[in-house]
Amino acid sequence: MSEAKHFTVYSPDTPDFNIPSSAQERVAFIPTPAAPSRRSRQSIWYDSYKRRARCPRVLKPLVSRWVKFVENNSGLLLIASAQLFFALMNVAVKVLNSLDEPVPTLELVFIRMFITYVCCISYMLVMGVPDPWLGPKGVRLLLVTRGFSGFFGLFGVYFSLNYLSLSDTTVLTFLGPLTTAAAAALILKEKFTLREGVAGAFSLIGVVLIARPRFLFGAAPQVPDHGHVVEGGHGDPSQRGTPADRLLAVGLSLLGVLGGTGAALSIRKIGMRAHAVHSLTSFSAYCVVASGIAMLWQRPHLVFPHRPEWVLMLLFIGVVGFVAQTMVTLGIQRETISRGMMGNYVQIIFATAFERIFFHTTPSPLSILGTLIIVSSAIYVALTKENTNKGPRAGQDVTLDNGETTLEEGLLRGQEQDEEDDTSTPLKERHEMKQG
């Protein structure tokens, strides 16, 4: 007869049998993290909004939908809003050329980007952003690519304005969103839906109706200048130079489109690994160096200020350009390129509106039709965004963001593992007793 083995009886210390006592005791002693869990900026903004917002009960569902719409389309809205500042910059350039002798293109690029570079470095030094001069080590090559590509994108547009009309240059420039979306789908493997392609094509049609290029509509319509700079500042650029010069301008304009595509892909590839101002610093630094070398080579006639309004307008151009470029960079970081680039088409709408406000130019019916097409396409893309995140089941109230959800899931898995460890020992001992 075998001897009965000694065993310990495990009884709960609390009448709550749903949670084992050992696990229940440990729940109260989970150590507080040394630093608060990282929360997304959108969640922080949304919580702050909920605490401060005071609106009637009837309007709360509408306000809630609006807040969710802004969160889901933050990148697209940032890029579209940046076009307002780009249009203001173009108006300032036109006013600047009316104050004194028109500023040469390279001089304008040099001064504008130098102001942008100073703003970027000052911001990072004041805010304590790490690696303000060269950027984080893991993305420095991408930052170089962003600056190099961005300069060619800017130079291609400005050079083409010397020998092409503004309408022709505008249409060539707005090929950028389509080429960028296609390149992102091929290189970065981003999703490019049919609806985004159709909306982009319709937006390009709207741009053509507003710009009315000569090769489609002839030379009869006089297209207003939306504030872009033309070397020399006088005359129709399409009447300057030889056919070979205009062909070169078309080629460099397309090179500018490719440069803008490379810059957007670089920003998207960098993502959140670098601050948005890092990208803008690289872009402005390369533009300053390249335009400075080009001025030393070409030796253009430099224009110096003679009136205080000239200096103020030039500073305004630099600051507004800095804000616009920063918003574009933030938008590309938060949105797929195929959707984000749709916001670029809004610029020509702002340009047409500012022409009416500041220069009293009446838009034609075709311009109004093109504006409606662009706005409709942008709204369509914004409202048909697919939700890539799996949402909660009906009836569930989720208040945790991704970081907190991950933390809680980890704690629950640890708790379940501890429960299994606690229950496995007595069960094993009972099994051994039966065998004995």
pLDDT, tens digit, for every residue of 107-156? 888 988 898 899 899 999 999 988 888 889 888 999 999 988 888 888 88
Q: Are 247 and 215 in contact (CB under 8 A)?
A: no
For 390-430, the pLDDT digits (tens) are 443 333 333 333 433 333 344 344 444 444 445 444 444 44
The burial of 284, by beta-carbon neighbours within 10 Å (0-12 exposed, 13-18 middle, 19 or more buried), is given as buried
The burial of 334, by beta-carbon neighbours within 10 Å (0-12 exposed, 13-18 middle, 19 or more buried), is given as buried
Quick one: which H or E segment has residue 383? helix 365-383
Residue 29's pLDDT band (cuts 50, 70, 90)? very low
The verdict on residue 346 lying in a domain is: yes
Residue 14 has pLDDT above 60, yes or no: no
Query: Which tokens hold the place of 375?
Result: 């706005």
Cα 340 from chain centroid (whole Å): 7
Q: Which residues are CB-neighbours of 197 under 8 A, at least 6 positions away?
A: 178, 181, 338
CA distance 95 to 313: 8
In the chain, the percentage of residues whose pLDDT exceeds 70 is 67
User: What does the pLDDT read at residue 225?
Assistant: 46
Q: How many CB atoms lie within 10 A of CB 308?
A: 8
User: What does the pLDDT read at residue 215?
Assistant: 65
Helix, strand or coil for residue 42?
Answer: helix
CA distance 274 to 145: 14
CA distance 183 to 260: 11
CA distance 167 to 150: 22
Average pLDDT across the chain, whole number: 73
The verdict on residue 13 lying in a domain is: no
Residue 287 has pLDDT above 60, yes or no: yes
Q: Determine the straight-line distance between the first and last CA of the chain, rounded to whole angstroms.
A: 10
Residue 209 has pLDDT above 60, yes or no: yes
**Does the CA dihedral 85-89-90-95 come out positive or negative?**
positive
CA distance 97 to 297: 24
The verdict on residue 97 lying in a domain is: yes
The verdict on residue 282 lying in a domain is: yes
User: What does the pLDDT read at residue 268?
Assistant: 86
The verdict on residue 274 lying in a domain is: yes
Q: Are 145 and 129 in contact (CB under 8 A)?
A: no
Query: Which tokens hold the place of 424?
Result: 């496995």
Whole-number Cα distances in Å, 3 to 19, 134, 223: 34, 77, 106
CA distance 307 to 364: 36
Closest CA to 232 of 94, 103, 92: 103
Q: How many CB atoms lie within 10 A of CB 418?
A: 14
Whole-number Cα distances in Å, 410 to 35, 73, 81, 397: 17, 30, 40, 20
Closest CA to 154 of 132, 176, 171, 183: 176
Number of domains in the chain: 1
**Angle between the 194-211 and 166-173 helix axes, to the nearest 10 degrees?**
170
Instruction: Provide the H-helix boundaries in 128-242.
Output: 140-160, 166-173, 176-187, 194-211, 214-217
CA distance 311 to 330: 29
Cα 70 from chain centroid (whole Å): 14
For 216-238, the pLDDT digits (tens) are 776 554 444 444 443 434 445 54
User: What does the pLDDT read at residue 229?
Assistant: 40
The pTM of the whole model exceeds 0.85: no
Provide the residue range defining the domain that includes 149. Answer: 77-383
Residue 255 has pLDDT above 60, yes or no: yes
The verdict on residue 345 lying in a domain is: yes
In the chain, the percentage of residues whose pLDDT exceeds 90 is 7
**Angle between the 308-334 and 74-99 helix axes, to the nearest 10 degrees?**
160
Residue 163 has pLDDT above 50, yes or no: yes
Mean pLDDT of 353-374: 82
Q: What letter would DSSP give residue 53?
A: -
The verdict on residue 50 lying in a domain is: no
User: What does the pLDDT read at residue 126?
Assistant: 92
Mean pLDDT of 254-281: 88
User: What does the pLDDT read at residue 24?
Assistant: 44
Q: Are 346 and 80 in contact (CB under 8 A)?
A: yes
The verdict on residue 58 lying in a domain is: no
Residue 63's pLDDT band (cuts 50, 70, 90)? confident
